[in-house]
Structure 1
Amino acid sequence: MSHLGNILHWRKSVSTLMGLLILFSFSHSYSQTKVKIKGEKFYINGKPTYAGQKWKGLKIEGLLMNARMVQGVFDDLNPETIERWKYPDTGKWDADRNTSEFVQHMNDWKAHGLLSFTINLQGGSPEGYSKNQPWHNSAFTAQGELRPAYMARLKKVLDEADRLEMVPILGLFYFGQDHRLENEAAVIKAVDLTINWLHDHNYKNVIIEINNECNVRYVHKILQPERVHELILRAKSIERNGYRYYVSTSYGGRFIPLPNVVQAADFILIHGNGVAEPKMIEEMVAQTRAVKGYHKMPILFNEDDHFDFDKDYNNMIASVSSYASWGYFDFRMKDDGFEEGYQSMPVDWSISSDRKRGFFNLLKEITGY
């Protein structure tokens, strides 16, 4: 072979190798972030969250401060309602744009000390609070199969969370959409397939919320308070190479978790909706720790629609003063502009309003970021 031939052969070999490496990188998920729970503390990659941080004498180390960002993979499969979510600039809805803009702003959230967010496979009410929910937003088919388009969007979010060393709370079911699954067998299948999908992609930075507010209007009995612990235990039982996911579920505002869930869960989720007096937040945490079967494990608020971030005492401060993590829930209220809220569709995922800035600025101060 001539000298020129050797060069061309070398270039072809390098090109082929680079192509294989690129192909492998797209087909294989590298997990660089691993969450662990030890007692009441969260650890990320072997270190407690907010390591060494105290704020006004309060211990912050080990908490998992979060926000309700449940619509990150939202779509509407109902052609009669999809027009409700059109963007003001384009006049149409775009599910891929929604996820792309979500991912685009994650780094900014993290820079303010946000280590976690709740993202749901059946979303939340895209109008903030809604009694009737005719839209169809579900990552599951009626038989409990995973919809590829939803999971492709979820992968983008989880990959970026892995890169940023964030810990998403992945919610599976929502009371406005659980009826989309035809029976209990489909619900169980959806749990199995979701947990196995996470294992397939080697994510170790995700914790699981079986359903949002299990005591609110669920059709399937296995998603209701008396039996939801069955799904917690089932999800926990699916291991790969000695690794399993941490699992829990949540209740509606002001509701204290029941013993069957407390005994089955790895961490406790409670909601502060309807809690007008911050002192009640402290009382809720104390009552939760007194539930039969409770042992030292993290307590998280992952939904609270109260603000007052400029005040010396608010629900967020009350939560951390009880050594419980707190989660910001904001939706677009009457007469609010597009920049408000993180749940009403379509979402402006940036830190773009006074309420959002109030939360993130106080979060940054408390966490020391």
Structure 2
Amino acid sequence: MRTQLTYILALFCICLSINSMAQGKRKTQVEIRGNQFFINGQPTYAGRFWKGNKIEGLLMNSRMVQGVFDDLNPETVHNWEYPDTKTWDADRNTNEFVSQMPNWKAHGLLSFTINLQGGSPFGYSQSQPWINSAFTEQGDLRDDYFLRLEKILDRADELGMVPIVGFFYFGQDERFVDEKAVILAVENAVDWILNKGYSNVLIEVNNECNVRYDHEILQPERVHELINLVKSKEKNGRRLLVSTSYGGGAVPKENVVKYSDFILLHGNGVKDPNNITAQVEATRKVPGYTDQPIVYNEDDHFNFDQDLNNFTAATAAYASWGFFDYRMKDEGFESGYQSVPVDWGINSDRKKGFFKLLKEITGF
């Protein structure tokens, strides 16, 4: 009997230990205080100024949405073959992503956007026959996707990084059977993140809510319902910070501004850096704006060797900026962070230009 009780007690202790790990004594916690981001109680880039511009409190980032990518359509998966193996490998993709994260951080990158339905592997696409979704059609979680996501979020927590986890992408949202499935997907994903104890994660409900979404709840007039759903879910007194984004150059509507913890902007289509400044100023004038941090988490304009570019313009306007890079026509494997298969290293001239300027601005 004593042996049996000892065994039961040991098993109970193991269960408690596993549960404690799941709840997480995590290393990294993100907060928003006023218009600044804080990591572990300290403002990001503490005390940093660059060319007279305040950098402290910003969250410089890059669009790395394909970190958990897979293609469940056997008719299209051949498009993503690695040049060396002539086959696609979702686990290799995630493992190589994770291996490069310390390198990104060493250049001053504190955040990156990852999306549970990815993004166009061609940069921009009119149609999306591939099937890339961490959710089933009914809104349940696909375990293999979330195992890959866990690798990334665990490493980010260890490194002191703050991932922006996006849930939905236009062209893939139509795979949900109905609105109830969309809502269930949000609930399941938020519960998973909270139950894992992550305190370093920001949420982007969907990428560019004003672009081609099938379900009305993912469109501009109603997307705030999902923002509020995320905010309503707590565990141990903690909830996730949440927003959503609009397409390039757009200023978000009042309902999104009012309920978001931070404001996401996109610079696609904004060729004149002065219009980045104008976009930020217009956003701050939207009714409901209460000095939340403004974050660009997608912009495909570069010119990093010039004094004035979209990155420096956003910085001067005290808005965080995010690099969006895809493999353009006739470019090699090393180019583009959104084009699958992805070379997650800093190997192309464009990537080198971004990370060089990032390091200079952030003082890393």
Q: TM-score, normalised by structure 2?
A: 0.95
Q: Which residue of 2 aligns with 1:69?
A: 64
Q: Percent identity between the aligned chains?
A: 64
1:350 maps to which of 345, 352, 364: 345
1:134 counterpart letter in structure 2: P
Q: Which residue of 2 aligns with 1:294?
A: 289
Q: Which residue of 1 aligns with 2:93?
A: 98
Q: Which residue of 2 aligns with 1:364?
A: 359
Q: Which residue of 1 aligns with 2:133?
A: 138
Q: Which residue of 2 aligns with 1:149?
A: 144
After TM superposition, the structure 1 = structure 2 runs for residues 180-219 of structure 1, keeping only pairs within 5 Å, are 180-219=175-214
Q: Which residue of 2 aligns with 1:47?
A: 42
Alpha-carbon distance, 1:68 to partner = 0.2
Q: Which residue of 2 aligns with 1:171?
A: 166
1:169 counterpart letter in structure 2: I
Q: Which has the larger radius of gyration?
A: 1
SS across alignment from 2:338: coil
1:327 counterpart letter in structure 2: G
SS across alignment from 1:168: strand
Query: For 1:107 and 1:176, how far apart are their aligned partners in 2?
Result: 32
- Please list the CA deviations of residues 14-34 of structure 1 after superposition, one character each: whole Å capped at 9, or x if unmatched: xx99xx69x949963431100
1:270 counterpart letter in structure 2: L
Question: Is the contact made by 2:67 and 2:114 (CA closer than 8 Å) also made in structure 1?
Answer: yes
1:299 counterpart letter in structure 2: I
Query: For 1:25 and 1:354, how far apart are their aligned partners in 2?
Result: 45
Q: Which residue of 1 aligns with 2:106?
A: 111
After TM superposition, the structure 1 = structure 2 runs for residues 298-313 of structure 1, keeping only pairs within 5 Å, are 298-313=293-308
2:129 counterpart letter in structure 1: P
Label 1:358 to 1:245 Cα distance change in 2 as closer, same or farther (>3 A). Answer: same
Query: For 2:199 and 2:72, how far apart are their aligned partners in 1?
Result: 30
Query: For 2:285 and 2:257, how far apart are their aligned partners in 1?
Result: 10
Query: For 2:293 and 2:20, how far apart are their aligned partners in 1?
Result: 35
Q: Which residue of 2 aligns with 1:246?
A: 241
- Please list the CA deviations of residues 216-256 of structure 1 after superposition, one character each: whole Å capped at 9, or x if unmatched: 00000000000000000011000111100001000000100
Which shows bigger deviation, 44-53 or 29-38?
29-38
Query: For 1:142 and 1:56, how far apart are their aligned partners in 2?
Result: 50
2:141 counterpart letter in structure 1: L
Are residues 1:128 and 2:128 paired? no
Q: Which residue of 2 aligns with 1:7?
A: none
Which shows bigger deviation, 223-232 or 28-37?
28-37
Q: Any stretches of 5+ residues in structure 2 without a counterpart?
A: 1-9
- The structure 1 segments of at least 4 consecutive aligned residues displaced by more than 6 Å after TM superposition are none
Are residues 1:234 and 2:229 paired? yes
Query: For 2:257 and 2:18, how far apart are their aligned partners in 1?
Result: 41
2:147 counterpart letter in structure 1: A
1:164 counterpart letter in structure 2: L
Label 1:27 to 1:94 Cα distance change in 2 as closer, same or farther (>3 A). Answer: farther
Question: Is the contact made by 2:325 and 2:337 (CA closer than 8 Å) also made in structure 1?
Answer: yes
Q: TM-score, normalised by structure 1?
A: 0.93
2:152 counterpart letter in structure 1: V
- Please list the CA deviations of residues 107-144 of structure 1 after superposition, one character each: whole Å capped at 9, or x if unmatched: 00000000000000000001111001000000000000
Query: For 1:103 and 1:25, how far apart are their aligned partners in 2?
Result: 25
1:135 counterpart letter in structure 2: W
SS across alignment from 1:152: helix
SS across alignment from 2:295: strand
Q: Which residue of 1 aligns with 2:51?
A: 56
SS across alignment from 2:256: helix
Question: Is the contact made by 2:36 and 2:43 (CA closer than 8 Å) also made in structure 1?
Answer: yes
2:91 counterpart letter in structure 1: D
Q: Which residue of 1 aligns with 2:278?
A: 283
Query: For 2:246 and 2:26, how far apart are their aligned partners in 1?
Result: 31
Alpha-carbon distance, 1:176 to partner = 1.5
- Please list the CA deviations of residues 39-87 of structure 1 after superposition, one character each: whole Å capped at 9, or x if unmatched: 1000000000000000001000000000000000000000000000000
Label 1:180 to 1:104 Cα distance change in 2 as closer, same or farther (>3 A). Answer: same
CA RMSD of aligned residues (A): 1.7
1:353 counterpart letter in structure 2: S
Label 1:25 to 1:230 Cα distance change in 2 as closer, same or farther (>3 A). Answer: closer
